[in-house]
Structure 1
Amino acid sequence: MVHVSAAPVLALRGVSKRFGAVQALTDVELEVHAGEVLALVGDNGAGKSTLVKTIAGAHSIDDGVIEWEGRPVSINRPHDAQELGIATVYQDLSLCDNLDVVGNLFLGREVRRWGVLDEVEMERRARELLTTLSIRIPSVRIPVASLSGGQRQTVAIARSMLGEPKLVILDEPTAALGVEQTAQVLDLVERLREQGLAVVLISHNMADVKSVADNVAVLRLGRNNGVFPVKTTSQEEIISAITGATENAVTRRAARSVGVQK
């Protein structure tokens, strides 16, 4: 396990974002370390999408600081995030159904030799990448359209790994999947952690969160509403932090952790 006293791969310090009169994020603090899966949860409208887009470079922040490996950085466009080592896999996956797995993996980063596409090298790398991530697909040459939802999701995650990122953001990766396909994707999330990556997992599914996340960060109405270690926190506590059902989830947590230490 990675020593958590090391600087986080990514830290948000007092980050705020406005859209006109709408305050989408207010003073948000977030840390994610190498070898950690941090689940980001909250109701619709809590600010999860905005937060992801600020990290991914789709929105620039209005206030606060984004730190990367302990130093302040500016992320004003997606290229900035990619250059740092941030990969984002959005819900729509942006896969091309008519292309095969190799074509999708290398879309926009094609390998050329003497000006011609090097299909053999791309296929070799594709197999190697999928093997490294233990992704099982019938063939790297079948069209993505013929893959299951779970396989498509794993291909999209594998594609994000080609840039050798240090942080992978997964936006609702199991949203439309059945039990078996969800298990495939969660297995892959665990392998990313084993390889020392930092993972931010956005999810509505508490069972998924409990099974793979180390910590859960709750957003409520654009603000932090607690960071909870998965092992020692009940699902009810996380849900009450999401909905704001308790007056103060933080004090309850503090009281409970004192009880645990006794």
Structure 2
Amino acid sequence: MIFVLRHAERADNSPYQDDQKDVKLDFDPHLTDLGALQSQFCAQSIKKILETYNPNVKRVVYVSSPFLRCIQTVQYVNQYLGLNAIEDKMYVQTQIGEMLRSSWFQEDINKKLTQKTDPNLSQQIGLKIEEPFVQDERLIQQVYPEDKLGDFQDRFKVAYEVIAEKFLNTYNTEETVLILVTHGFGVQIVLDKFNCFRFSDMVDYCSINAFDYRPESLPDKEYPLFPKVCIRQQHDHVKQADNEFSKRKYQVAKF
């Protein structure tokens, strides 16, 4: 199975000034405490999904966008999922990173992201950070500025196909699951690829999407990379995290 997640809450979108004040790189914000909790509840939801669809899974491959909010989402999911990350690694793949719009970024910031500049990040995450998961001549490299949505769509769609192909050709999918953590637009593109995205849907923080590629689950045997869509836009766990966070905030304020 392959899971495609959006990252959890980013600090610069938090309503709390303390979260915003602590951002070290304005173009690469960290997760909030609520975001960490969202990731924890997300891991618990993934556990339940696996119990239903693929209970024999023993290990996980993590592939993340290079942005800190995605890497930290992997960190907390890994802590609470209860599966062994292969070789205690997570992989960073630039091609599934954020769209580099000139209205969002003043320059190509890839070389300045926390993943490139903080030598202690792997230790903080608890996994060895390695890049990339796959090298392939079909991959489309990011070019700044990336203002055309079509350019981003082409880049991301190819990246997902190549990553999925590498995973399926390398690992026993009965025992191994791939968790890919990216951004909202990236989630939309994957869902659109499988004809199951509606623009009326919101891609919430930690939104879970799950695709079963095992041969016995494929709806059309002639198209082995067109999987069974098991979960689409599940984010009930986000509300649970919000409620738990509010409860903790109230208890702290009370005392």
> TM-score w.r.t. structure 2 length?
0.31
Of Structure 1 and Structure 2, the greater helix share is in 2
Larger Rg: 1
Query: Which protein has the bigger strand share?
Result: 1
